[in-house]
Amino acid sequence: MISVDFDGVLNNLTFKWIDYINNKHNTSYTVRDIKTYNDKLILDNYEFIQNKKLYDNIQLLNGAQYFIKELEKIDNVQIVTQTIKEHFNSKKNFLNKYFPNIKVIYTGKNKDIVKNTILIDDCLENIERHVNKLKSAGIIYSYNNLYQYNKTNKFPRFKSYNEIINFLKK
Long-range pairs of 17-20 with CB within 8 A, sequence gap ≥ 24? 17/42, 17/45, 17/48, 17/49, 20/45, 20/48
Q: Label residue 9 exposed, middle or buried (CB < 10 Å: 0-12, 13-18, 19+).
A: buried
Segment 64-90, tens digit of pLDDT: 999 999 999 999 999 999 888 899 999
What kind and span of H or E run contains 109? none
Spatial strand order of the sheet with 118-121 comes to: 103-107, 77-82, 2-5, 118-121, 137-141, 157-158
For residue 149, CA distances in Å to 39, 78, 116, 139, 145 come to 9, 24, 24, 14, 10
Q: How many helices (H) and strands (E) does the chain have?
A: 6, 6
Residue 114 lies in a domain: yes
User: Can you give the pLDDT at residue 158?
Assistant: 94
Residue 156 lies in a domain: yes
Confidence (pTM) = 0.90
Residue 16 pLDDT > 80, yes or no? yes
Range of the domain at 87: 2-14+53-169
> How many structural domains compose the chain?
1
Q: What angle do CA 71, 149, 146 make, to 5 degrees?
A: 65
Residue 149 pLDDT > 70, yes or no? no
CATH classification at residue 152: 3.40.50.1000
Residue 52 pLDDT > 90, yes or no? yes
Residue 117 lies in a domain: yes
User: Can you give the pLDDT at residue 116?
Assistant: 67
Using DSSP, state whether 79 is helix, strand or coil. Answer: strand
Residue 44 lies in a domain: no
Residue 37 lies in a domain: no
Residue 49 pLDDT > 80, yes or no? yes
Residue 66 lies in a domain: yes
Residue 36 lies in a domain: no
User: Can you give the pLDDT at residue 111?
Assistant: 73
Residue 25 lies in a domain: no
